[in-house]
Structure 1
Amino acid sequence: MNECHYDKLMDYFYNRTNTHTADDWTGTNIMIVLCFGTFFCLFIFFSNSLVIAAVIINRKFHFPFYYLLANLAAADFFAGIAYVFLMFNTGPVSKTLTVNRWFLRQGLLDASLTASLTNLLVIAVERHMSIMSMRVHSNLTKKRVTLLIVLIWAIAIFMGAVPTLGWNCLCDISTCSSLAPIYSRSYLIFWTVSNLVAFFIMVAVYLRIYMYVKRKTNVLSPHTSGSISRRRTPMKLMKTVMTVLGAFVVCWTPGLVVLLLDGLNCRQCSVQHVKRWFLLLALLNSVMNPIIYSYKDEDMYNTMKKMICCFSQENSANPESRSSHIPSGALSRSDTGSQYMEDSLSQGPVCKDAS
C-alpha cells in the first residue's frame, strides 16, 4: 500500500523533482519578473474595473454579449488576484508552503484560466445564436445570462479544485510532475489536452461564424435598408471577440504545451527554464483584453474615456466648481451620482475634455 504525504511541506516534493526554486528565483531575472508582474497586476485591476463599470453604467451595453464581456473582464481581474497570491508564495517561500496552501496557489491560477476559457465558449454560443438569426444581439434574457455566468464560475471553481479533491500524486509520488510537484502527470495531460482541444474548437467555430457573417453581409448589403454602421455592427462585434480569442490562444498555448510536455515526462525539454516567462505571457493576456475592448469598440472607448475624465475632474475640483459643471436639469432628474453618470455616458459627454 502506497504511503500518502499530506503532512509534508513542499520542500520534500521539490527536492524529489530536483527543482531548485530558491536558486531559480533570485537575481536579475526574478526582479524583472516581479516588477513586470506588479505593473501588469495594477493595470489589470484598474482597466478591467473600468470595463465592468462601463457595462454597468452605459445603457448601450445592457445586452447579453456585453454582460459576458464584463464577466470575461471579471475573470481577468481574478487572474490578477491569482498572480498577486503567486508572487507572495513563490521563490524560496515555495518550499515552506504546506500542501493545502500550494493547492490554493495553483487552484487560483487554474480557476482563472477555466473561467476565461468557459466564458469564451459561452460567448461563442451567444454569437452563434445572434449571427445565425442575423441579429446584433441574441434574445437571451437577463435571467439566463445570470445563470450562465454562475455556471461559468461553478465550472471554474470545480476545475481549480480537482487536484485537491483527489487527482494528485500525494499517495503515489512516482507519478508526480516536475513543474507542479504534487500534481499527477496524468492530470496535467488531461487538463492541457482538454484546454487545447477547446482552443481549436473555438477557433473553428469563430472562423465559421466569421465567414457566414461576411458572406451574408456581402449578399444582403445592396438590398438592405438602414444605415451602413448598423449593418456593420455584427461584423465589428465578431472582429472584437475574434481578436480577444486570438490573444487568448497566443498567450496561453505556450504554457499549456510546456505543461503537456511535463505531463508526458519529457526530460530533455528544459521546461523549468521557461516556466516563469510563459506564466508572465499568460498574465499579459489579462492586460491585453481591456486594450482590445477599447480599441475595437468605439462606444467602449468613449465610455471609459468619459469615466476617467469625470472622475479626475471630480477629484481635482472643489465642491462649488463641481456643481457648476453639472446641468441643473440633471440634478432635478436624480439625486444620485450614479444616475447622473449613467445619463451622461448614455446621452453624451459631460466633461469638457471628452469628445
Structure 2
Amino acid sequence: PHPNHSLMTHSSMTIIALRWLALIFLIIITVGGNVLVCLAVGLSRRLWRISNCFVVSLAITDLLLGLLALPFSASVELRRGRWSLGGVLCNLYVSIDVTLCTSSILTLMAISVDRYMAITAPLSYSRRVTTVRVILATVAIWTCSLAVAFLPINMGWNTDKEGQYCQFEWNNSYVVVYATGTFYAPLLLMTGMYLCIFREARKQVSFCRTLDTHKAMLKAQSYCTLAAVLGAFVICWLPYFTYITCMGMKGQRISPNTSHSVVLWLGYFNSALNPILYPAFNRDFHRAYRELLCCRRPSRMKLKLSDNSVHKRLTSPSSISQHLNNKDQTKRVGKEPYDTNVV
C-alpha cells in the first residue's frame, strides 16, 4: 500500500479512538456525578431540605440523559449521523433526548427562582415554597418537556424521508418558538433572578462584615458560585440554540456536520457540570461527598454528642443573649441574612 494512505488511515483511526474516549469519559462523568448527588441527598439527613428538591430533580434528569440518550448520541456521532435501528426507535430516542435536555434547562430555571426567594425573602421562604408547590412545579416542567418533544414527532415533523439519519428534524417555524420558550425566556429569567440575588447578597455581605468576617467571606464566595452557575449555562447552551435558531430562520435543514456536533455536545456537557456547580459549593454536600467517597458514615455516638452540644449551645445563657443581640441588629437592617448553604 501507498505510505501516505497508510499514514492517513492510522491518523483517522487515532482520531476516532480519541473521540470514543472523550465521549465515553463524558458519559461516565455525567452518570457518576449525578448518582453521587442522589446518594448524597438520600443518605445525609443534613441535606433533607426542600431547597434541595430541585437539585435532586436536576440530578435525576441529567442521570437519565446520561443513561438513555447519550450512549445513542455517541453512536450516532461516531457513525456520522447514520442510524440503523429503524424509524420507531429513532423517534423514541430523539423524543427522550429532547425531553431530558428541556427538563434540565427548565429545572435550572426553577432553581434560580428558588434561590431568589430564599435569599431575598428568607422569612417567608418556608411559607411560600412548600412541598406541594415544588411537586407541582416539577410536574409542570416534565409536562412541558414532554409536550415540546413528543408533539413534533407525533405530527410527523421528525420523519426522515431517506431513513438513514436520526436527529430532530426541525419545522422551521417551530424551532424559533421552541428555542424562545425553552432557552431564551429561561435565560432572561435566570439572568434577572441572579442579578437580584447579587444585589441582595452584596447588601448582606456589607452587613456581615460588621458582625463576622468569616461569615462575610462565605457569602462573598457565593458570588463565585452564582457566576459559575450562570456562566456555565450560557457557555454550554447558547451556541446550540443560536445555531438551530439561525438555521431555522434561514429555512435550512440541520444536517450532521462538525459545527452541529460541537454545539450539541457542548450542551450535553452542562449535564456533567451541574453535579459539580450546584451541590459542590455547599458545605453540607461537601461533607456528604467525603463520607460517600471515603465509604464512612458518622456514628450514632458522634451524632448524639453533636445533638447534645447543639442543645447546650441553644440553652446556655450566653448563646441566648448573643442570639437576641443578633436578632436586634437584624431588625435594624430589616431582613435576616440568608444561609450561605442556600446558594
Q: Give structure 1 stretches of 5+ with no counterpart.
A: 1-25, 312-324, 331-339, 348-355
Q: Does 1:143 align with 2:132?
A: yes
Q: Tell me if the contact between 2:113 and 2:190 (Cα under 8 Å) persists in the aligned partners.
A: no
Q: Does 1:73 align with 2:59?
A: yes
- TM-fit CA distance, 1:134: 4.0
Q: Tell me if the contact between 1:251 and 1:281 (Cα under 8 Å) persists in the aligned partners.
A: yes
Match of 2:155 in 1: 166
Match of 1:319 in 2: none
The aligned amino acid for 1:148 is: A
Once the two structures are superposed, residues 199-248 of structure 1 have per-residue CA deviations (whole angstroms, 9 ceiling, x without a partner) of 13311221122112213442x3367x6x5556776665565344223212
Q: Does 1:124 align with 2:112?
A: yes
Match of 1:42 in 2: 28
Once the two structures are superposed, residues 304-341 of structure 1 have per-residue CA deviations (whole angstroms, 9 ceiling, x without a partner) of 12111116xxxxxxxxxxxxx996x66xxxxxxxxx9x
- TM-fit CA distance, 1:182: 3.3
What is the CA–CA distance in structure 2 between the aligned matches of 1:95 and 1:40, rounded to whole Å? Answer: 22
Match of 2:294, SS state, is helix
> Number of residues paired by the alignment?
288
The worse-fitting range, judged by mean Cα deviation, of 93-102 and 159-168 is 93-102
What is the CA–CA distance in structure 2 between the aligned matches of 1:291 and 1:217, rounded to whole Å? Answer: 24
1:10-89 map, 5 Å: 28-81=14-67, 82-89=69-76
Match of 2:294 in 1: 309
Q: Does 1:109 align with 2:94?
A: no
Change (3 A) 1:280 1:96: same
What is the CA–CA distance in structure 1 between the aligned matches of 2:30 and 2:168, rounded to whole Å? Answer: 29
Change (3 A) 1:303 1:37: same
The worse-fitting range, judged by mean Cα deviation, of 36-45 and 231-240 is 231-240
What is the CA–CA distance in structure 2 between the aligned matches of 1:268 and 1:151, rounded to whole Å? Answer: 31
1:210-225 map, 5 Å: 210-218=198-206, 220-221=207-208
Q: Does 1:207 align with 2:195?
A: yes
What is the CA–CA distance in structure 1 between the aligned matches of 2:197 and 2:141, rounded to whole Å? Answer: 22
What is the CA–CA distance in structure 1 between the aligned matches of 2:227 and 2:126, rounded to whole Å? Answer: 17
Q: Tell me if the contact between 1:75 and 1:115 (Cα under 8 Å) persists in the aligned partners.
A: yes
The aligned amino acid for 2:151 is: V
Change (3 A) 1:33 1:258: farther
Change (3 A) 1:116 1:242: farther
Match of 1:250 in 2: 235
What is the CA–CA distance in structure 1 between the aligned matches of 2:38 and 2:217, rounded to whole Å? Answer: 25
The aligned amino acid for 1:276 is: S
Change (3 A) 1:169 1:310: closer
Match of 1:153 in 2: 142
Q: Tell me if the contact between 2:59 and 2:275 (Cα under 8 Å) persists in the aligned partners.
A: yes
What is the CA–CA distance in structure 2 between the aligned matches of 1:266 and 1:27, rounded to whole Å? Answer: 35
- TM-fit CA distance, 1:65: 2.2
TM-score normalised according to structure 2 size? 0.70
Q: Give structure 2 stretches of 5+ with no counterpart.
A: 1-11, 308-343
Match of 1:186 in 2: 173
- TM-fit CA distance, 1:254: 0.9
TM-score normalised according to structure 1 size? 0.68
Q: Tell me if the contact between 2:116 and 2:196 (Cα under 8 Å) persists in the aligned partners.
A: no
